[in-house]
Amino acid sequence: MKKSLFLGVAASALLAMTSCSVQKHNTLTEAEVADGWTLLFDGQTLNGWRDYNGKTLTQPWHVVDGCIQANGDGSDLSGYIVTEKQYENFILDWDWKLSYGGNSGMLYHVVEDPYFKVPYVTGPEYQLIDNEGWEKTNAPTKLEEWQKLGVDYAMYLPNPDSMFVNPQGEWNNSRIVFDNGHVEHYLNGHKILEFEAWTEDWFKRKGSGKWEMAPEYGLARKGVICLQDHGSPASFRNIKIKELPKKVSKEEIVLFNGKDLTGWTAYGTELWYVNDEGLLVCESGPNKEYGYFATNDYYNDFDLTVEFKQLANGNSGVFFRSFVEPPVKVHGWQCEVAPKNNDTAGIYESYGRGWLVQIPDEKENILKSGDWNTLRIRLEGNHVQTWLNGEPMTDFTDDKIGAAQGRIALQIHDGGGIKVLWRNLKLVRL
């Protein structure tokens, strides 16, 4: 090839990498459409995006030359935009370019609720940052390894031998694969890390670092996609996603092993322990406050059975699709467990609506005081059903419940004098 021709080809290639407008971006091929890919950005508008926890788009993002651009006016508490749709299992692919020393990120499984002021306390993040430029700009401060490009932020590090980054100011391509808990990060076509979410190793990392005080981090099974303006101009294009099928095992899951409190976390000063008979005991402590005992994992659609025996008072309950506000508060819905004539198996909402379904007086005798009772809760989408000792108690639909997700949590009511035994906590995911 003649030198002049070579230089012309090289110049064209460089121009294609550094300009949004030279080639037709933000489109899908016929093969991609047939394979299930969808664009999250049309190249012209911000349709399909809005503020985090908002209904419209007011954050400082705009479209320039076929790119979504962050002005760089964002901060830790602002500058986040999210997709209107939630995603569960997917392959997410995008191109990105940062300013010198730039810092941004792509988050997923982000949960929206007024309680969560920022998306990163729930959604994992593929970190986007100009490592070298950031450290020079912020010298003598150095980035921790868990803050650098490509990491699963504050959790998993990439293989440094797989990191092929284009020069600062040029376009790079990234990909996240989330397939029923199996996670992979890619950078410019190279796999840089992979891990399994919600394993023992994952929970250990979550509980010992940055997320120790963010109890809901990473637990959501679905959520919105989020772009971050972290105070640095950043550009994105060719954002596309392919949804993957949800795999549901119909195997029974034993939530309580009869030996210890594995798989659960206690909140508050009330007492939770396993007695000599292998029973889970909840008992009021000296502070006589509310207490909660929550699964570490989220369970959204399920058929749950649990046996309980009220030894004293018995004012308790089973929360579902709930989340924890430290130090001792649970947001969500409760299937009531209480003394007779107090609506056991009815549904109460902690968000403000109060009782959604109470139990008719003629069904109050179904509860066996001082003996073992079997409570069943079936939850699928927005459909809630409960049974007590085999008798149907509630059957209703609620869109607010249908839009939520979260943990299962047992409760000790405040006031003191409560003691309840639990056994055979089992469920099947639906």
pLDDT at 333 over 80: yes
| Cβ atoms 93, 238 nearer than 8 A | yes
**Same domain assignment for residues 421 and 311:** yes
What single letter denotes the amino acid at residue 201?
D
Shared domain check, 276 and 224: no
Residue 11: inside a domain, yes or no? no
User: Are 226 and 300 contained in the same domain?
Assistant: no
What is the pLDDT, as a whole number, of residue 274? 98
Burial group, residue 397, by CB count within 10 angstroms (0-12, 13-18, 19+): exposed
Question: Per the domain annotation, does 20 fall within a domain?
Answer: no
CATH number, residue 155 = 2.60.120.560
According to the model, what pLDDT value does residue 10 have?
Answer: 41
What's the pLDDT score for residue 349? 96
Are residues 239 and 268 located together in one domain of the fold? no
Q: Are residues 289 and 224 in the same domain?
A: no
pLDDT of residue 71: 84
- Residues 109, 146, single domain; the answer is yes
Residues 195 and 301 in one domain: no
Q: How many folded domains does the chain comprise?
A: 2
**Pair of tokens at residue 349:** 């909402």
**Same structural domain, 212 and 276:** no
Residue that finishes a domain, picked among 243, 262, 292: 243
pTM, whole model, 2 decimals?
0.90
Would residue 14 count as lying in a domain? no
Q: Is the pLDDT of residue 20 over 70?
A: no
Q: Among the three residues 196, 220, 243, which one is the final residue of a domain in this structure?
A: 243
Q: Strand pairing of 172-179 and 316-325?
A: unpaired
3 assigned to some structural domain: no
The CA–CA distances, whole Å, from 331 to 291, 304, 344, 405, 411 equal: 13, 19, 19, 11, 12
Domain endpoint, select from 178, 213, 243 = 243
* CB of 410 closer than 8 Å to CB of 422: yes
Judged against a pLDDT cut of 50, whether residue 11 lies above it is answered with no
Residue 336 shares a structural domain with residue 304: yes
Residues 212 and 258 in one domain: no
Alpha carbons 427 and 279: distance in angstroms, whole number: 17
Q: How far is CA 383 from CA 141, 330, 371, 398, 430, in A?
A: 52, 21, 29, 7, 12
For the cut 70, the answer to whether the pLDDT of residue 203 exceeds it is yes
Could you read off the pLDDT of 337-395 as tens digits, one per residue? 999 999 999 999 998 899 999 999 999 999 999 999 999 999 999 999 999 999 999 99
Q: What is the mean pLDDT of the chain?
A: 93
The pLDDT score that the predictor gives to residue 23 is 52
Residue 39 in 3-state DSSP? Answer: strand
pLDDT at 15 over 90: no
Tokens found for residue 129 = 């940052």
Which ranges constitute the DSSP H helices of 196-236? 200-208
* The pLDDT value given to residue 360: 96
pLDDT, residue 248, reads: 87
Question: Is there a domain that residue 9 lies in?
Answer: no
The whole-number average pLDDT for the span 211-216 is 94
Q: Which domain holds residue 102?
A: 26-243
287 shares a domain with 163:
no
- The answer on pLDDT for 329 being more than 60 is yes
Regarding whether 227 and 274 lie in a shared domain, the answer is no
The per-residue pLDDT for range 33-91, each reduced to its tens digit, is 999 999 999 999 999 999 999 999 988 899 999 999 988 887 878 889 999 999 999 99
| 18 domain residue, yes or no | no
- As a whole number, mean pLDDT of residues 322-343 equals 94
